[in-house]
Amino acid sequence: MELTNSLPKGPNTPRSLRLMKFIFQPIKYLDDYAKAYGDTFTIQGSQGTPIVYFSQPQDLQTIFNADSSQLDAGRGNSGLEFLMGDNSLLLLDGDRHQRQRQLLTPPFHGERMRAYGQIISEIAEQVMNQWTVGKPFNIRASMQEITLRVILRVVFGLDEGSRLEQLRSLVGSTLDLMSSRFNSSAFFFEFLKRDLGDWSPWGRMLRQLKQIDELIYAQIAERRAEANPNRQDILSLMMSARDEAGQPMTDIELRDELMTLLVAGHETTASALTWTLYWVDQLPQMRDKLLAELDSVDADSDPSIITKLPYLTAVCSETLRIYPIAPNTFVRVVRSPIEIGGYKLPPGALILPSIYLAHHREETYPQPKQFKPERFLERQFSQYEYLPFGGGNRRCIGMAFAMYEMKLVLATIVSRFQVSLVNKRPVIPVRRGLTLAAPEGMKMVATPRLKKPAYTPVSV
């Protein structure tokens, strides 16, 4: 391919109009530009900074494998510092990023997750027991309740008590505030980030974040005083981790990583579960296949058996393909000139690998707008074709845990209930903060599933 110093073509729409479409029509924004300009296009950011979208697998491979001297990723997330702190894995680059990632990897090792399986299933059962059969309920709120309880139990080690209840209330309220239309817009319009006191959305959110901080630091102090080497919650494992110099994470580092896990691990999994239940309801034949597979195993003694089921895994994978929770990976900031796809990008340019567009390429996924779990049974996709958790050394560290939780919760729900939309009209994603989600008020109704047939072992 011939190298060119010019950037890919893109829209000339005024930035204010483009931003409004980006905020209020996020799917149409990406679909329209991809249709007009293809896999790669450039938009003009603030002060004329070029933002180049990429979605072709070979280009994504170049980006994800680029040397850290060429691209920064943490710097592109500086707008999240008010929430996650400047020690968050998401905001770090270079050696600091590598150190934190090494410290955080052991608690999310696959073997450790098995200890959490029973807890996840029990929490799903507890929330389902609050449903009134035949009475509509907010499905997203229920999924948020499950994923928040899982985070507080598995990550923080909180089983009960006033701190648990305070965190449940504050985290839910704060994330709802953050995802409101006003505060979502503040991520893109700096002038909206004004603290005008308790009555203003931004001011109220900042005060609630301060209260969450106080609770997190209290939990860290209590855990340090307890010094119980047998605890298996992720906070305890993080506190026992040591870097190459034998140093542990400081309280501030622990706080920032805990807040990152709260935000990144709670909202995202709740959105994914909401979408999965939507698709199971939309496609009865898929639901029948899923139930037949679940009925073929006896998972009472070991919930992890469920997570290895191929069709269940394919359903969850297709959910994250068709409507990925994050439409794009983290922004990369060009540090030194880099060639990608025949274009030479200058220092200061921003690179935006598009998960959504990569997942909707006709060449990779025929009929990409159709929900077809069978895709993931028929072939394997490379990490540059299927990337719901990002890519390279910035791929979500909790990826395996999120999929594990998603499969267990989905299996627990559909095995007991048929959950159906109240309004049968098709649903399209809306922006929720920096993510894509089902509309806030989406209602579903639960009816008990007919008693499943007696378990019969399946020969392999």
β-strand 137-138 against 443-448: which pairing, if any?
antiparallel
pTM assigned to the model: 0.91
pLDDT of res. 180:
61
Stretch 339-360: mean pLDDT = 96
Stretch 175-202: mean pLDDT = 64
Per-residue model confidence as pLDDT tens digits over 51-84: 999 999 999 999 999 988 899 988 878 778 888 8
pLDDT of res. 188:
60
pLDDT top residue among 137 and 173: 137
Query: What are φ and ψ of residue 365, in 5° steps?
Result: -125, 90
Q: Is the pLDDT of residue 405 over 90?
A: yes
Q: Is the pLDDT of residue 126 over 50?
A: yes
Stretch 197-213: mean pLDDT = 81
pLDDT of res. 196:
62
What SS3 string covers 101-165? Answer: HHHHCHHHCHHHHHHHHHHHHHHHHHHHCCCCCCCCEEHHHHHHHHHHHHHHHHHCCCCCCHHHH
- Using CA atoms, how far apart are residues 288 and 138, in angstroms rounded to an integer? 24
Q: Is the pLDDT of residue 425 over 80?
A: yes
The rounded percent of the chain whose pLDDT value lies above 70 is 91
| Residue 193 binned pLDDT confidence (cut-offs 50, 70, 90) | low
| Residue 450 binned pLDDT confidence (cut-offs 50, 70, 90) | confident
pLDDT of res. 453:
44
Considering all CA atoms of the chain, what is the largest pairwise distance in Å, rounded to the nearest integer? 67
Task: Give, to the nearest 10 degrees, the angle between helix 117-128 and helix 139-150.
Answer: 150
Q: Which of 149-158, 170-179, 210-219 has the lowest mean pLDDT?
A: 170-179
Stretch 376-403: mean pLDDT = 93
Walk me through the domains of the chain, giving residue ranges and CATH numbers: 15-448 (1.10.630.10)
Residues facing residue 448 across a β-bridge: 417
pLDDT of res. 459:
34
Token reading at 38: 């293809």
pLDDT of res. 45:
85
Per-residue model confidence as pLDDT tens digits over 18-44: 988 988 899 999 999 999 999 999 999
- Using CA atoms, how far apart are residues 14 and 79, in angstroms rounded to an integer? 23
| Residue 457 binned pLDDT confidence (cut-offs 50, 70, 90) | very low
Stretch 429-455: mean pLDDT = 81
Stretch 161-167: mean pLDDT = 84
- Mean per-residue pLDDT of the chain: 88
Look at the chain and count its residues. Answer: 460
pLDDT top residue among 189 and 122: 122
Stretch 409-438: mean pLDDT = 91
